[in-house]
Amino acid sequence: MKNLIIILMSVCSLFWLPPQVLAEETSALNIMEKVFYRDDGLDSYSKVEMLLVDKKNNTRGRILEIYAKDYSSLIKTFLEFTEPADIKGTKFLSIEEEKADNTQYLYLPALGRSRRIVSSQKNLAFVNTDFTYEDMQRRRPEKDTHRIIADEALNSRNCVVVESVSNDNTSQYSKRISWVDKESDVVVKIEFYDKKGKKIKEFRVNGLEKKDGIWTVTDMVMDNEKDVHKTYMKLLEVRYNQGLGDDIFTSYSLEK
Amino acid sequence: MLKEITKIIKLLLCVFTFEFYFAGFVYAEENKDVEWEHKNAIRARIYQDIADNNELEDDVATDLLFESDNSLWFMSRNLLFKADIEGRIETFEGYDSATDSMFRIKEGYAQFTKDTHTFTAGEKIVTWGKMDDVVILDRINPQDFTRFILEDKQDRKLSALMFKYDYSPGDWKIESIFKPFFKPSAVNYFGSDWAVFGNLKQGVSDGNMAQAKKDIVSAIAVEEQDYVTDNNLKNSEAGLRLTNKFNALDYSFYYMNIRHALPVLKERTATGNLVKQYLYDPSLANLNALEAANPSGDDYILERAHPRLNVVGADWETVIGGYGARGEIGMFWGQPYLREDFSYVEKDVLSFGLGIDHTTANDIYIDFQFIADYVMDYEGLFAQEEIAKQFTGSVSKNFKRGIINLNLDWAYSLSYQDLMLNPVVEYKFINGLSVSFGSFMFMGDSTTTFGAFNSKDLIYAEMKYLF
């Protein structure tokens, strides 16, 4: 089951981490599992406008197309930048496996071929956005310990606030605090904390609506407080359950 | 007849490209089933030679390049028409002043996909192999070396007429290529700073040597072998690649039956070897030796040899921890060389390359490659050791989220101690405009690849606009 914006999904998934001790923790895990496994379509196509804004309010826009498909134990995502010209043709393929490291390929037009890239360097920025490669991956709930820390309204949505800490130190973050919308099971806000426990980034959903019966984030921002930089993402188009073929999600399709 | 057919094909491609360019947008707008993708670039470079050690060289050169890449997709028919064009104006200021211009179709082909089958026909560029900016198995297309390596490998590639069929049912795929005619790499031997023998002829002609010696040098000529340049099916080439993956390892196997695209000079007579000896080492002693041999007629004629090569190879790529690793290996039967007496000879060669890349915690990208060639049945060869070893690599770092980019490309031959350095700093403005400042430095003995241009140390400024 896939949602529109991979990044969205990944960001959202970061927050779907489970607990282990008490009923409260079990409940927190359940919440994050509901987030992770919620219906976001068997496959999806989305077109997204990305806006990078620096501290002087200089902006750089990008358009990207995202194809995603759920294979139950596998999730495959294909992404292509279509604008502007200096990044046009850059393609990215991610294959997320349940019990293995992710496989990622990057196609750069200047190289003329796709290259398998290191997915373990999660703290690096993805194509100069405020999203890291870790943010680009859906993090499975069982990789974290979750704890409900509050129940509060956010932008008129009733949310459960869940704190998630990595079980095995595989995250670049010391913890994440997620606001999960009770109605849609979508994470509508996340705070990211570095290893020193300092808040460094905040992800916010500014638009959430049902498309084809599926809760879909239509507008969001990753606010990098450390670098005073923001990445906005706005959904221009989305289509679910189109019966996407498998041929898109191969390294061969990157080079076509 | 075949020549005429080739001309007609090229003419049709030209017409098609123009139609494409001017009508593509309108057509795509009117037909929702049709999608027109395009990308244009204007690039202006100015080079300054900073090593004033050869009066015949150009002091300043400019290079204005226009590129337009166009793809027209007929979605419901799974049909793609590709038409990329390139135009260029260059000026050279120095010992002489000159202007050169060029227009060509960079790529022009049609591609049809049906399920797992893809058919392509036309002038196309193919990238095979896993190594960056070096050639081991990436031999389907010839390259343009008339500017040596001032352009990256992908930009140096020349399209070639081919028919390509790909079968890709899943993670594995087969690619087969048939090129009906041979197209050699573009190399100048005389008359430019980047020619193999530079401005040797002009230097002798304008110098104060005896007229007899000037006449000898003037008579030297490098010619293409007729049977090679004829668009003859006997010159056809073919390639096959099988690609698959095993766990985290991507790999491919290759077979190619091709011609050696980069020419090697072949003598018509034994005296021709003395001609080559003088060209590669233009000393007065070697010219005297040539003069003493009383050259005439075919003695002066050297032919660009492009012998047929049989190639079997493999490449692989994986990720090990935080490192990307890749490699290529190829066995080449019939690679051309010159013996120490400059006579032409063909040898079997085993080549392999290993590459590792890594991005550090502070986002510095480092790429390192090792390439080695082993010449079998070795005998004394000119500028070629039995085992030749070379290192290449790059280091890059961007600042301000890719607005400022630093990059250093380098190559060093362990066997011949020649070196190339290409540092560049780039600043990207908003809206596709960027400026760069860079340098090319070549060091080494004059008989080595980079050392041959050791008098050409350049700095350059570039302005590029992508739209």
Decide if A212 touches B, using CB distance below 8 A: no
Chain B: give the shortest CA distance to residue A166, in Å: 20
3-state helix, strand, coil in chain A (%, to 5): 15, 50, 40
Lowest mean pLDDT, pick from A7-11, A166-170, B212-216, B402-406 = A7-11
pLDDT in tens, A104-141: 899 988 888 999 988 767 788 888 899 998 887 778 89
Question: Looking at the complex, does the CB of residue A252 fall below 8 Å from at least one CB of chain B?
Answer: yes
Q: What is the mean pLDDT of residues A40-52?
A: 95
By the 8 A CB rule, do B359 and B348 touch? no
CATH number of residue B236's parent domain = 2.40.160.10
Q: Hey, is B149 helix, strand or coil? A: coil
Domain that holds residue B360: 2-466
CB half-sphere exposure, A11, CA atoms < 13 A: 30
Number of domains in chain B: 1
Give the pair of three-digit tokens for residue B391.
Answer: 């290192």
* φ, ψ at B31 (rounded to 5°): -120, 110
B106 neighbors B89 (Cβ within 8 angstroms): no
Rounded mean pLDDT, A12-32: 60
Q: Which of residues 73-102 of A touch B (CB under 8 A)?
A: 82, 84-86, 88-89, 101
Residue of B nearest to A246 (CA): B170
- Chain A: give the shortest CA distance to residue B243, in Å: 9
Asked if residues B244 and B172 have their Cβ atoms less than 8 Å apart, the reply is yes
Average pLDDT for A29-43: 92
Minimal Cα–Cα distance from B327 to chain A, Å?
Answer: 12
The pLDDT value recorded for residue B233 is 84
What pLDDT does B12 receive?
Answer: 59
pLDDT of B223: 93
**Cβ(B146)–Cβ(B154) under 8 Å?**
no
Q: Which of B318, B321, B434 sits opposite A116 (nearest CB)?
A: B318
Could you tell me the pLDDT band of residue A194, with boundaries at 50, 70 and 90? very high
The pLDDT assigned to B33 comes to 80
State which residue of chain A sits closest to B464, comparing Cα positions: A86
DSSP B247-308: TTEEEEEEEEEEE-SS-EEEESSTHHHHHHHHHHS--HHHHHHHHHT---GGGGEEEEE--E
- Put simply, whether B30 touches A (Cβ < 8 Å) is no
Closest alpha carbon within chain A to B430 = A60
Across the interface, do B359 and A125 touch by the CB < 8 Å criterion? no
Low-confidence stretches of chain B (pLDDT < 50) are: none
Q: Closest partner residue to B359 among A124, A251, A252, by Cβ?
A: A124
B319, B360, B364, best to mutate vs chain A, most A CBs in 10 Å: B319
Query: What is the C-alpha separation between A38 and A232, in angstroms, rounded?
Result: 24
Q: CA-CA distance, A221 to A231, in Å (whole number)?
A: 6
Contact A85 B116 (CB under 8 A): no
Q: Tell me: the pLDDT tens digits for A78-97?
A: 999 999 998 899 999 988 88
B41: contact with A, CB 8 A cutoff: yes
Asked if B243 lies within 8 A of A252 by C-beta distance, the reply is: yes
Q: What is the pTM of this model?
A: 0.87
Residue A255 contacts B, CB cutoff 8 Å: yes
| Sequence spans of domains, chain A | 18-255
Give the residue-averaged pLDDT of A207-212: 95
Distance from B295 to chain A by nearest Cα, in Å? 47
Q: Is A196 within 8 Å of chain B by CB?
A: no
Q: What is the pLDDT of residue B120?
A: 97
Take residue B239 and report the two structure tokens written for it.
């390639």
Structure tokens at B115: 């399920």
Instruction: List pLDDT tens digits, range B410-435.
Output: 999 999 999 999 999 999 997 889 99
The answer, for A24 touching chain B at a CB cutoff of 8 Å, is no
ipTM over 0.90: no
Mean pLDDT over all residues of chain A?
86
pLDDT for res A154: 94
* Residues paired with residue A206 on neighbouring β-strands, in sequence order: none
Does residue A116 sit in helix, strand or coil?
A: strand
- Hey, of A113, A127, A226, which one would you mutate to test binding to chain B, going by the most B CBs within 10 A of its CB? A113
Q: Which residues pair with A47 in a beta bridge?
A: A65, A237
Query: In angstroms, how far is the first alpha carbon of chain B from the final one?
Result: 41
A18-255: CATH topology: outer membrane lipoprotein receptor (LolB), chain A (2.50.20)
Confidence class for position A234, pLDDT limits 50, 70, 90: very high
Q: Is A128 on the interface with B (CB under 8 A)?
A: yes
Q: How far is A68 from chain B (nearest CA, A)?
A: 17
Per-residue model confidence (pLDDT) at position B308? 95
